[in-house]
Chains A and B, each alone.
Chain A
Amino acid sequence: GQNIDQPTEMTATEGAIVQINCTYQTSGFNGLFWYQQHAGEAPTFLSYNVLDGLEEKGRFSSFLSRSKGYSYLLLKELQMKDSASYLCAFTRYSTLTFGKGTMLLVSP
C-alpha cells in the first residue's frame, strides 16, 4: 500500500532553523515534492527531489533518501511569513499523493 507520514505541528522562533521530516511507503516512486500552503490558499511548489541527496534553494533545502523512504525540508533563517502548512508528496505515475501536512508556527 501507499503511506506518507509527517509531523502534525512544529513550532520555531524567528531566525532559527527547522527540519520537517517526511517518511513514505509506496510500491512505485518517481520523486518527492514539498509544497507550502498558507491557510485558505492553494499549495505553492517549493522543491522536487528525484535523486538521493540534498537540493538547496535559497533558505530552503530538501533531502531525499530513496532507500530509506525518507525526506526532509530544511528551512533556515526563519521568518514570520514562513508560518504555513508544509506538505510532502510523492509522485507515482504522474499522480501526487500528499501527506497531511505539517503546520509550522514561527514565533517572534
Chain B
Amino acid sequence: GAVVSQHPSWVICKSGTSVKIECRSLDFQATTMFWYRQFPKQSLMLMATSNEGSKATYEQGVEKDKFLINHASLTLSTLTVTSAHPEDSSFYICSARAFTLTSGASTDTQYFGPGTRLTVL
C-alpha cells in the first residue's frame, strides 16, 4: 500500500515553455501532498505544501507564480513550472501524507513518488 506515482518520469523542454508534473496517490487518499526539489548531490528541499481544495503553502524563496500547484482531488496534485529556464533543471519529487500503523501507533508518514527529472535547454 501507500504507492505514489509521478508523471512524467523525465522531461526535456525548451527555455520559456511550461511543464506540468502530476503526482498521484494510487491506493490511498492524500489531503496533503508535498513538492520537493533536489539538485545533484544536494538534499531534498521542500518547495510547497499542497492541500486538497485550498491554496498551496510555499516555502520562503519559492516563487508561487512560477511554480503553480493545484491539488484538485484527494489523489492528484500537479506542479506546473511556468516559463522554465535552465536553472530550473532539477529532480522534482512529490510525496503524499499518509497515516500508517507503526508498532501499534499511528504514524504521520510521507510516501514519495519516483521523481521527475526536468532538463530545460
Contacts and interface: CB of A to CB of B under 8 A. Distances in A.
Contacts of A35: 112
B102 A48 contact: yes
Main secondary structure, interface of B, reads: strand
Contacts of B18: none
Contacts of A48: 102, 107, 109
A80 B48 CA distance: 35
A98 B39 CA distance: 13
Interface residues of A, number: 23
Contacts of B114: 41-42
Contacts of B113: 42
Interface in B38-73: 42-46, 49
A95 B56 CA distance: 13
A76 interface: no
Interface string A77-100: 000000000010001001111111
A45 B34 contact: no
Given A98-B44, A100-B42, A100-B43, A91 B111 contact: no
Given A48-B107, A95-B49, A101 B43 contact: yes
A31 B6 CA distance: 26
B42 to A, nearest CB: 7
Contacts of A55: 103
Contacts of A91: 108
Contact of A42 (B43, B93, B109): B93
B63 to A, nearest CB: 19
Interface string B87-98: 000010101010
B117 interface: yes
Contacts of A58: none
25 contacts: A30-B108, A33-B109, A40-B117, A42-B112, A43-B112, A44-B112, A45-B110, A45-B112, A48-B102, A50-B107, A87-B43, A91-B108, A94-B32, A94-B97, A95-B34, A95-B46, A96-B34, A96-B44, A96-B95, A96-B110, A98-B43, A99-B43, A100-B42, A100-B43, A101-B43
